[in-house]
């Protein structure tokens, strides 16, 4: 297969807490094609999302800080186009979902070289936009629910329940028969989640929210809270939990320091607070394919029950099935994931042809695709609207 010597990448030139300044300074740049080392594969990137963690990274507020200029983007999907020495040549042509946390590489590029622990093969029929979002949020949710399960928690509270991680948490918790008290911040979201089948949904904006959460947590004996908001919310969750409860903070959407904890609850109630981050969790794994949750979903996947199907196959099918119900727009062949669009300031026709989902015909469609036209303008206009100033 012909491979170019260089490729285009979206280059980050400065960290700045002002996201707009960061974005304005970003450029589509020609860089050398990475060469797959031994036991690595080279992937042609087809799509990559913009997650809250990407925005935090661009603003310099993430626990990953690369040397500049850097290539951003932590996850994506693409096709294996070549393999390094010692890698299985049969992988060429397979679509993979991947995670990249490398000082010299990122997902917002045309090609990326990956070690086998950082990708897995997905089902060939899986829409690429879903495959591109299959790593960070689903694995985060899965890992958090595993923590709850291993901690013996029969009921949990989760904040930001309408977010992508929150939706996956609900899905995985249900399969473990863990009750979830979902917290959202809009009345419409209460109704939407209930319509989706969520039994317990509270609006954090209600005047008596704290009373409601204490009553419900006590009724269901909720002993863990999974919190993406931080700030005062963490304290409210902590205070609502029964004795021996724990708050697991995995996001800082409020942008505020943790606060409001009942001191006596910590001392006499033996309650704790801890953090979770996927990077740390992944680094403890030898390989993402070594995780075992695919087994739990095997039975629900007819294709996966065939003995000829690989572990990767059953894993991707089960996640795909999960995400199908979680991202309704995916089922229509479109994808949003509440991402900001990654657009080029170009009217490059090749882009329109290659990537129908990113055409300007549908202005409302926010697509996760990050394909970069070979002949693009050097300017990079990430989005029309301002991005959220939260982590
Ligand atoms: N630690 C890790 O390894 C890890 C991994 C993945 C994600 N994360 C973090 O997890 C968080 C959620 O990610 P996501 O992809 O699920 O985000 P998302 O899809 O953008 O959803 C965020 C949700 O949080 C709500 N929200 C935003 N700010 C809030 C606030 N101040 N108070 C209460 N609710 C608020 C939003 O509500 P509206 O719909 O009303 O706007 C939305 O429903 C992010 O902070 C992300 O960085 C951490």
From 49, 61, 158, 165, give the residue whose CB has the most ligand 1 atoms within 8 Å, as the site to mutate. Answer: 165
| Cα 36 to Cα 83: distance, rounded to the nearest angstrom | 6
Tell me, using a 6 A CB cutoff, whether residue 390 lines ligand 1: yes
Q: Is the CB of 228 under 6 A from ligand 1?
A: yes
Q: How far apart are CA 129 and CA 158, in angstroms?
A: 26
Q: Tens digit of pLDDT for each residue in 228-277?
A: 999 999 999 999 999 999 999 999 999 899 999 999 999 999 999 999 99
Q: How is the beta sheet containing 119-121 ordered, strand by strand?
A: 111-115, 40-47, 75-83, 95-99, 119-121
- For ligand 1, the distance from its centroid to the CA atom of residue 103, given in whole angstroms, is 25
27 phi/psi in degrees, rounded to 5: -135, 150
Please count the other Cβ atoms lying within 10 Å of the Cβ belonging to residue 358.
Answer: 22
283: buried, middle or exposed (CB in 10 Å: 19+, 13-18, 0-12)? exposed
pLDDT reported for residue 183: 98
**Which of 253, 285, 323, 340 for a ligand 1 pocket mutation test, highest count of atoms within 8 Å of Cβ?**
253
Cα–Cα dist 57/55, whole Å: 5
C-beta of 185 in contact with ligand 1 (< 6 A): yes
Residue 119, phi then psi, degrees to nearest 5: -150, 160
Give residue-wise pLDDT tens across range 284-326.
Answer: 765 554 454 333 333 333 333 333 344 444 444 445 545 444 4
For 328, half-sphere exposure in the C-beta direction (CA atoms, 13 angstrom radius) is 3
Both tokens of 186, joined, read: 């809009």
Contact 152, 226 (CB under 8 A): no
Per-residue pLDDT 10s for the chain (391 aa) are 789 999 999 999 999 999 999 999 999 999 999 999 999 999 999 999 998 889 999 999 888 999 999 999 999 999 999 999 988 899 999 999 999 988 999 999 999 999 988 888 888 888 898 899 888 898 899 999 999 999 999 999 999 999 999 999 999 999 899 999 999 999 999 999 999 999 999 999 999 999 999 999 999 999 999 999 999 999 999 999 999 999 999 999 998 999 999 999 999 999 999 999 988 887 776 555 445 433 333 333 333 333 334 444 444 444 554 544 443 323 222 223 322 223 322 233 344 334 444 333 333 333 333 333 332 322 222 222 222 223 3
pLDDT at residue 350 in the model: 40
Cβ–ligand 1 contact at 354 (below 6 Å): no
The confidence score (pLDDT) of residue 211 equals 97
The ligand 1 atom nearest the CA atom of 167 = 16
Look at residue 285 in the predicted model and tell me its pLDDT. Answer: 63
> Ligand 1 centroid vs 336 CA: distance in angstroms?
15
Q: pTM score, two decimals?
A: 0.76
pLDDT score at 347: 35
Instruction: List the beta bridge partners of residue 6.
Output: 32
- Determine how β-strand 6-12 pairs with β-strand 27-32: antiparallel
CATH topology assigned to domain 139-279: Rossmann fold (3.40.50)
* Number of the ligand 1 atom closest to the C-alpha atom of 52: 47
Q: Which of 112, 20, 110, 16 is nearest to 68 (CA)?
A: 16
For the domain spanning 6-133+327-358, the CATH number is 3.90.180.10
Residue 365, phi-psi category: left (phi > 0), alpha (psi -120 to 50), beta (remainder): beta
Q: Which residues of 26-51 are buried (b: 16+ CB within 10 A; e: fewer)?
A: bebbebeebebeeebbbbbbbbbbbb
**CA–CA dist 54, 195 (Å, integer):** 31
Instruction: List the chain domain ranges.
Output: 6-133+327-358, 139-279
What is the whole-number distance in angstroms between the Cα of residue 57 and the centre of ligand 1?
15
Compute the radius of gyration of the chain from its Cα atoms. Answer: 21
């Amino acid at each position: 297969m012909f491979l170019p010597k260089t490729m285009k990448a979206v280059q980050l030139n400065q960290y700045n807490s002002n996201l707009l300044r960061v974005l304005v300074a970003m450029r589509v740049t020609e860089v050398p094609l990475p060469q797959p080392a031994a036991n690595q594969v080279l992937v042609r990137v087809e799509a990559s999302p913009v997650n809250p963690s990407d925005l935090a990274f661009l603003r310099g507020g993430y626990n990953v800080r690369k040397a500049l200029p850097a290539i951003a983007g932590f996850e994506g999907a693409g096709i294996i186009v070549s393999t390094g020495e010692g890698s299985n040549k049969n992988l060429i042509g397979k679509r993979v979902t991947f995670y990249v946390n490398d000082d010299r590489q990122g997902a917002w590029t045309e090609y990326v070289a990956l070690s086998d622990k950082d990708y897995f093969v997905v089902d060939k029929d899986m829409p690429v936009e879903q495959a591109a979002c299959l790593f960070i949020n689903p694995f985060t949710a899965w890992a958090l629910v595993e923590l709850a399960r291993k901690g013996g928690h029969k009921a949990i509270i989760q904040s930001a329940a309408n977010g992508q991680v929150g939706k996956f948490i609900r899905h995985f918790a249900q399969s473990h028969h863990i009750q979830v008290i979902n917290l959202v911040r809009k009345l419409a979201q209460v109704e939407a989640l209930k319509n989706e089948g969520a039994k317990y949904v509270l609006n954090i904006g209600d005047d008596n929210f704290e009373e409601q959460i204490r009553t419900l947590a006590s009724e269901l004996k909720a002993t863990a809270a999974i919190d993406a908001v931080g700030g005062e919310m963490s304290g409210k969750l902590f205070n609502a939990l029964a004795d021996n409860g724990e708050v697991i903070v995995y996001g800082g959407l409020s942008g505020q320091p943790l606060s409001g904890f009942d001191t006596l609850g910590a001392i006499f109630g033996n309650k704790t607070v801890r953090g979770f981050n996927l990077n740390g969790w992944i680094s403890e794994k030898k390989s993402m394919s070594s995780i075992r949750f695919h087994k739990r979903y095997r039975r629900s996947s007819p294709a996966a029950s065939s003995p000829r199907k690989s572990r990767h196959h059953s894993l991707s099918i089960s996640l795909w099935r999960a995400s199908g119900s979680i991202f309704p727009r995916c089922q229509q062949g479109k994808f949003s994931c509440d991402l900001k669009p990654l657009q080029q300031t170009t009217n490059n026709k090749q882009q329109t042809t290659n990537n129908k989902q990113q055409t300007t015909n549908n202005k409302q469609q926010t697509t996760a695709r990050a394909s970069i036209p070979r002949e693009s303008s050097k300017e990079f206009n990430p989005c029309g609207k301002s991005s959220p100033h939260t982590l």
